[in-house]
Structure 1
């Protein structure tokens, strides 16, 4: 029986690691560099960067992975008035004090002209005075201008003017709200938040919604959260602007001894490593190595530098030790980039405990044999 015991125990000790099912590699295994067969120095295929207080400032200045950096247009104060523009329609009625005047028939004191459309040149044509420039004026100023033009032809003329905005005054709310469609600019200081509110608000199912503005062939973008929290970003809309809202498409991944192994969306504009660990459900307490939190990132070749202004290798592994205060504080400042892989290594203690468990099982079998 002694021989049986020795054989079984030896098998466990020699091949214990092969017998233990693990969901992740040890940190030493993940970061291992293969040995050279001819004895020459092996150049690592990746760089390893510990996330600490000393290195954090350097990492924060390295290039972002997200190539799409959309600009945004800040708000420009405009008078909260209506302005006549080409394509608008005007209903004009002229009142006079005398009967049987130049524009009226006997017994009439007023005349209403057919609805007039402001031309591309910004003018309208009126009988006896010809073309009058009205674009760029408020309705009250345009009315006063018409009265002035008729003072030489009528006695004490009074003008009544009603403005109907034309199709050139519309903006389009494309998608991402409860009621998309075309909206006519009600005044010159109509903002993007007013438009989103008039469209019924952003749909609540979106994750970190992103607001997009198309203007004159250029696309601008900002997150809804930042737009709501920064008044100066509530930009004033122009005619023919197109606005839509979409979900944040950026993702990062989690693998290993983490709470979940999945693809995760960014919940806000900036996610730190510590927040990412929260999003993935933390680490598996029974088998994770708190010293072995790895963030694997691939940089574009153009970002690689030799002076620490950027990574020195396109493949970079950042390491975090959550068992120290420095590691915890630094993890709360290190920024996750789109496409990052958060990898939680297996704890070596777990492997040792599993070996001893198997060793105990062998002893139990041996005792039964005795």
Structure 2
């Protein structure tokens, strides 16, 4: 009677649990009307779908690495000029600009000057030369043409001393955020970050954001290092921001540790994630009920689900997918070492059926134990009487 009463008491109560059982997942996925979750059984074939996973890319947004755009002079830039002429030219034998006598070498160095508001600079014997928007090489050609007939085979060299426009801004998790000037040869993203003192955060926790005009794209720093085509040449006015974004995943259920855990390398496999969480608990875990929750791009989900799946409706961009790992299958155990974790993944290990029964028996013992002990005491008292 006591056991019967305890059964009635517990029939309307739920046993304590850390989450749904493997059986509950099956029921949801096999709903004949509208399945509420997309459960994918992990196998070696499943790993092929991961190859179509889109990754963050700068080249996809701004084009290939290409080549430096080259410096173009702007208003306010400071430049220096050097002028030459071939012998027996004497036009530059005396410096008209400085008023100082120099040796008869047919060369002259013009002191630094700023590009004026009208976009011009002054050149002796050539007057004002329009330079805004031109490269130094183009300005040199303009000056040489302007001096034709006045000097013998004139040549010019234009050097940019300071530029307010031909620079990029580097900020965020770098040792010293600053404006980094661009050279005529061009700087790439990694060059600018190095010029700003390098990273302050670990490589695998850093994300690089490139903003150009009104467009912004992101890439993880470790991929930028390993993919030369992503290390783009910078353009004047670009902003490079290094953001610290630790990659984490969560572990719940019958594991040795329920927590939010971080990646400690550039990438982590499912096997490494389970090991970091303390592995499966022998007394509780269902080895056939290890699940990974992830929101997949539709390009990946289309490789996993049947074509008529309701989750692949037109216009869908992302699909919530639950991967199921049956760790009693040796092939799946091998697959866990090649199934790569993604940031914000959730790993859940269901309780085994035996664990639920153990919980039930423990609760029964807690209810009827005091009663049985009291009955035993009463029997003993009567026997003594």
- Could you say whether these structures have the same fold, taking a TM-score greater than 0.5 normalized by the shorter chain as the test? yes
Structure 2 partner of 1:50 = 41
Which runs of 5 or more structure 2 residues have no equivalent in the other structure? 312-318, 381-385
Q: Give the secondary structure class of the aligned counterpart of 2:350.
A: strand
Q: Give the secondary structure class of the aligned counterpart of 1:168.
A: coil
Q: Give the secondary structure class of the aligned counterpart of 1:238.
A: coil
> Which one of the candidate residues 166, 172, 176 is aligned to 1:169?
166
Alignment size in residue pairs: 352
Q: Give the secondary structure class of the aligned counterpart of 2:172.
A: coil
Structure 2 partner of 1:108 = 101
Kindly indicate whether the alpha-carbon contact (under 8 Å) linking 1:270 and 1:335 is maintained by their aligned counterparts in 2.
yes
CA distance in 1, matches of 2:100, 2:197: 51
Q: For residues 138-195 of structure 1, give each alpha carbon's deviation from its aligned partner in whole angstroms, at most 9, with x where no partner exists.
A: 5xx9668746754633578786765313111110012121211211113423221121
Structure 2 partner of 1:4 = none
1:251 Cα offset (Å): 5.5
Kindly indicate whether the alpha-carbon contact (under 8 Å) linking 2:72 and 2:166 is maintained by their aligned counterparts in 1.
no
The reply on whether 1:331 has 2:375 as its aligned counterpart is: no
Kindly indicate whether the alpha-carbon contact (under 8 Å) linking 1:99 and 1:105 is maintained by their aligned counterparts in 2.
no
> Which one of the candidate residues 69, 88, 91 is aligned to 2:80?
91
Q: For residues 185-244 of structure 1, give each alpha carbon's deviation from its aligned partner in whole angstroms, at most 9, with x where no partner exists.
A: 134232211211121211226862111111132212221111122333322211111100
Classify 1:60/1:83 alpha carbon distance in 2 versus 1 (closer, same or farther; 3 Å): closer
TM-score, structure 2 as length reference: 0.69
CA distance in 2, matches of 1:166, 1:128: 26
Larger RCO, structures 1/2 (Cα 8 Å, 6+ apart):
1
Kindly indicate whether the alpha-carbon contact (under 8 Å) linking 2:120 and 2:128 is maintained by their aligned counterparts in 1.
yes
Structure 1 partner of 2:135 = 136
RMSD: 4.7
TM-score, structure 1 as length reference: 0.71
Classify 1:247/1:11 alpha carbon distance in 2 versus 1 (closer, same or farther; 3 Å): farther
Kindly indicate whether the alpha-carbon contact (under 8 Å) linking 1:292 and 1:344 is maintained by their aligned counterparts in 2.
yes
Report the more deviating stretch, 351-360 or 180-189. 351-360
Classify 1:160/1:302 alpha carbon distance in 2 versus 1 (closer, same or farther; 3 Å): closer
CA distance in 1, matches of 2:308, 2:343: 17
> Which one of the candidate residues 160, 176, 180 is aligned to 1:179?
176
CA distance in 1, matches of 2:188, 2:162: 17
Q: Give the secondary structure class of the aligned counterpart of 1:193.
A: helix
CA distance in 1, matches of 2:37, 2:279: 26
